[in-house]
A and B are shown apart, each in its own frame.
Chain A
Amino acid sequence: MPDGAVIAAPAVAARGESPARRAFRRLLRHRAAMFGLAVVLAFIAIAVLAPLIAPYDPARTNWAAIRKPPSELFWFGTDENGRDILSRVIWGARASLLAGVVSVAIALAAGVPVGLAAGFLGGRVDALISRFTDAMLACPFLILAIALAAFLGPALENAMIAIGISATPIFIRLARGATMAVKVEDYVEAARGLGNPRWRVAVRHILPNIVPPLLVQATLAIASAIIAEASLSFLGLGQQPPAPSWGSMLNTAQRFMEQAPWMAIFPGLSIFTVVLAFNLLGDGLRDALDPREQG
């Protein structure tokens, strides 16, 4: 076994600069990532400043102007109740960003440690965790959602919990698979051979190397979470009308696909933009964290 393996052992590479610092410095230089970050920050700003920048009250109905196409007065057109779509997209950013980011964070926080443990420890722990994951995967989300709706009642936070729980098994499986692949790498075996405690090997040597697939999945899961929030609001979880969210705007638009396509286009574009931005940011993070790349 060549010695180089230990030297190339990425996360412990010490060049007088902590890995986190180095990653941060490299991230700042990553143009696509900075663009993604800018877009995400812009949307966060829009969500926070919604009361100041929205041209109209997002719940104000206008029976004389239902389903009007985009115009000077209503830049994005109006919806089925004559409400301004631009204002609803702006206010909807709050619910949708929260639903997307928080639920994925829940799933990451719950799924990654469990998956890491399963993959790293193997044996009975792995069998138990994996079979439990199989069971969770087979359980229809709908049942969970209806049960939670009854116990927790309609609130955005509860929808985030439901979505987070349902996305957890994916992160468990992903972390487990990646851990299994990484733990047989030479540098991990070397680290164990040097007598490092198991938790230290897991956190210092394995975790940094399984980040890329988790990062990719997290940025993708945001899109599904934003869309799922809308279905939940129909079951009595999540945002209740007239408060807007991008997902529920899209759902409503389904009835008017031919008559009022703009009702679907703008919330759809918003989801797309946010997801794209998160993916660019994720790519940048990946590159920055990649211990083997120089710079």
Chain B
Amino acid sequence: MLLFLARRVGQTIPTLLFVSLLIFGLQQLMPGDPALILAGEERGDPTVLAQIRAELNLDKPLPVQYGLWLWGVLQGDLGFSWRIREPIAEVIAQKLPVTLQLGLMAFVIAVFIGIPLGILSAVKKDTPLDWGANAVGLAGLSLPNFWLGIMMILFFSVQLGWLPPSGYVPLSEDWRQSLATTIMPAFVLGSGIAAVFMRHMRSAMLQAMGQDYVRTARAKGLGERVVVLKHALRNALVPVVTLGALELGTLLSGAVLTEQVFTIPGFGKLIVDAVFNRDYPVVQGVVLVTATLYILLNLIADVLYVLINPRLRHA
């Protein structure tokens, strides 16, 4: 196991290098000139454009630009945002806790709704309960987040006045206010993912319940509960773990639309603004962080596979 972990950590550095090159290349493929955007109303003036390009090293050859950026990163300097002129490390440090909180809350909500409903609909397959759970779950998936979000704001904030309509209060400042500002967006995000968990859980449970050892366990006269929980559930979890890692990764790289509706100052808005404004260093910095998150989460998933099914260790 230790060797496995060491190997995986060793793979992280080349992966991050590859990601940063990929992003750097893709950004060059996008139309849109950062200098034009930064010049604003002076964009017709070639001297202004030249000055901006010189200041941001945009006049240098691409490999040099990438090299300069990489050199900075190796020294622990992610650089400055071209648009808001703040150090990128600071901006990320400001947004990351927000997105972590919102993402984890949404994930917990999704797990607590999706997993039990999935098990229930597998055990009660082809009953009204199964159909109902599926319909509700898929409705959650088909509803666009902005629609559910705005409906919740109109109902809970404007009609009932229970929750603040938007904004964000950090956990460290006032945990109750913080929960109040994040519960609605977390629910909106979680409801869609709950459907994914539920569907996968159901299918995986059905597959597992058909396995020989479950049949054997049943034949031995073990109670249905034990069969379901101890035997079927374990193996059924593999696709759910895969999806869990991916969905959590998506959540932690920021949920643009939901953040926008609830005005949560998180990663999603940061990256979208950066892409739209061609704020290349911010995009590069954020992607490095998300890539690290994905690598970490997928590593956790791989470890979980082995914990769930010890036979995988030999493979």
Is the beta-carbon distance between B15 and A276 smaller than 8 angstroms? no
- Whether B57 sits at the interface, judged by CB under 8 Å, is no
Count B interface residues, CB 8 Å. 68
- Kindly provide the distance from the CB of B243 to the nearest chain A CB, expressed in whole angstroms: 7
Partner of A127, one of B11, B32, B134: B11
Q: Check A227 against B144 for contact (C-beta < 8 Å).
A: yes
Binds A, one of B42-50, B74-82, B90-98, B199-207: B199-207
Are A139's CB and B246's CB within 8 A?
no
Q: Which residue, of A183, A213, A258, A272, has the highest number of chain B Cβ atoms within 10 A? A: A213
**Which single residue of chain B is at the shortest CB-CB distance from A186?**
B212
B188 on interface, CB distance cutoff 8 Å = no
Which A residues lie within 8 Å of B29 (CB)? 147, 150-151
Nearest residue in A to B137 (C-beta to C-beta)?
A: A279
Residue of B nearest to A292 (CB): B210
Q: Kindly state the separation between the CA atoms of A94 and B131 in the bound complex, as whole angstroms.
A: 28
A275 touches B298 (CB 8 A): no
Does A143 lie within 8 Å of B15, measured CB to CB? no
Q: Which of A245-289 contact B (CB under 8 A)?
A: 250, 254, 257-258, 264, 268, 271-272, 275-276, 279, 283, 286-287
Given contact pairs A8-B212, A131-B18, A143 touches B142 in the complex (Cβ within 8 A): no
B27 interface residue, CB < 8 Å from A? Answer: yes
**Docked pose: A62 CA to B207 CA in angstroms:** 54
C-alpha gap A167/B27 in the complex (Å): 20
CB of A281 to closest CB in B, whole Å: 13
**Known: A8-B212, A180-B305, A184-B311. Contact between A146 and B199, CB under 8 A?**
no
Of the listed residues B142, B203, B212, B287, the one surrounded by the most CB atoms of chain A closer than 10 A to its CB is: B142
Of the candidates A5, A150, A181, A215, the one whose C-beta lies within 8 Å of that of B305 is A181
Interchain nearest-CB distance for A114 vs B (Å): 15
Q: How far is the CA of A139 from the CA of B26 in the complex (A)?
A: 9
Report the separation of the CA atoms of residues A184 and B310 in the bound assembly, to the nearest whole angstrom: 10
**Contact digits for A211-223, partner B, Cβ 8 Å, 1 yes 0 no:** 0110111011001
Q: How far is the CB of A136 from chain B (nearest CB, A)?
A: 8
Interface range for A? 35 or more
Does A140 sit within 8 A of B, measured CB to CB?
yes
List of A residues within 8 angstroms of B52 by Cβ: none
Q: From residue 111 to 168 of chain A, which have CB atoms closer than 8 A to chain B?
A: 122, 127, 130-135, 137-140, 142-144, 146-147, 150-151
Given contacts A134-B298, A143-B30, A178-B239, contact A220 B195 (CB under 8 A): yes
Q: With A180-B305, A217-B200, A268-B143 in contact, do A257 and B275 touch (Cβ < 8 Å)?
A: no
Q: Which residues of B contact A137 (CB under 8 A)?
A: 246, 249, 291, 294
User: Could you say which residues of chain B place their CB within 8 Å of the CB of A144?
Assistant: 26
Question: Do the beta carbons of A184 and B15 come within 8 Å of each other?
Answer: no
Question: Which residue of chain A has its CB nearest to the CB of B249?
Answer: A137
Q: Contacts of A170 on B, CB cut-off 8 Å?
A: 243, 246
A135 CB contact (under 8 Å) in B18, B206, B301: B18
Q: How would residues 228 to 256 of chain A score, 1 for a CB under 8 Å from any chain B CB and 0 otherwise?
A: 00000000000000000000001000100
Report the separation of the CA atoms of residues A184 and B315 in the bound assembly, to the nearest whole angstrom: 7
Min CB–CB distance A17 → chain B (angstroms): 19
B287 CB contacts on chain A under 8 angstroms: 138-140
Nearest chain B residue, comparing its CB with the CB of A150: B31
Interface string of B204-236 (1 = CB under 8 A from A): 101100111000000000000000000000010
Give the Cβ gap from B73 to chain A, nearest Cβ, in Å.
15
A19 to chain B minimum Cβ distance, whole angstroms, is: 15
Q: How far is the CA of A185 from the CA of B143 in the complex (A)?
A: 39
Please indicate the chain A residues that have their CB under 8 angstroms from the CB of B238 in the complex: 177-178, 180-181
Contact A220 to B14, CB < 8 A, known contacts A32-B126, A177-B305, A184-B314: no
For the complex, give the distance between the alpha carbons of A174 and B196 in Å. Answer: 13
B23 within 8 A of A: yes
Chain B min CB distance to A233 (Å): 14
1/0 contact string of B3-33 vs chain A (CB within 8 Å): 0000100010011001100110011011110
Chain A: CB-nearest residue to B257: A231
- Spell out B's residues near A (CB within 8 Å): 7, 11, 14-15, 18-19, 22-23, 26-27, 29-32, 126, 134-135, 138-139, 141-144, 146-147, 150-151, 154, 195-196, 199-200, 202-204, 206-207, 210-212, 235, 238-239, 241-243, 245-246, 249, 253, 271-272, 275, 283, 287, 290-291, 293-295, 298, 301, 305, 309, 311-312, 314-315
14 contacts across the A-B interface (CB closer than 8 A)? A137-B246, A137-B249, A138-B290, A140-B253, A143-B23, A143-B30, A174-B242, A180-B238, A184-B312, A223-B142, A258-B154, A275-B142, A279-B134, A286-B207
The residues of A with any CB-CB pair to B shorter than 8 Å are 4-5, 8, 32, 122, 127, 130-135, 137-140, 142-144, 146-147, 150-151, 169-170, 173-174, 176-178, 180-181, 183-184, 212-213, 215-217, 219-220, 223-224, 227, 250, 254, 257-258, 264, 268, 271-272, 275-276, 279, 283, 286-287, 290, 292-293
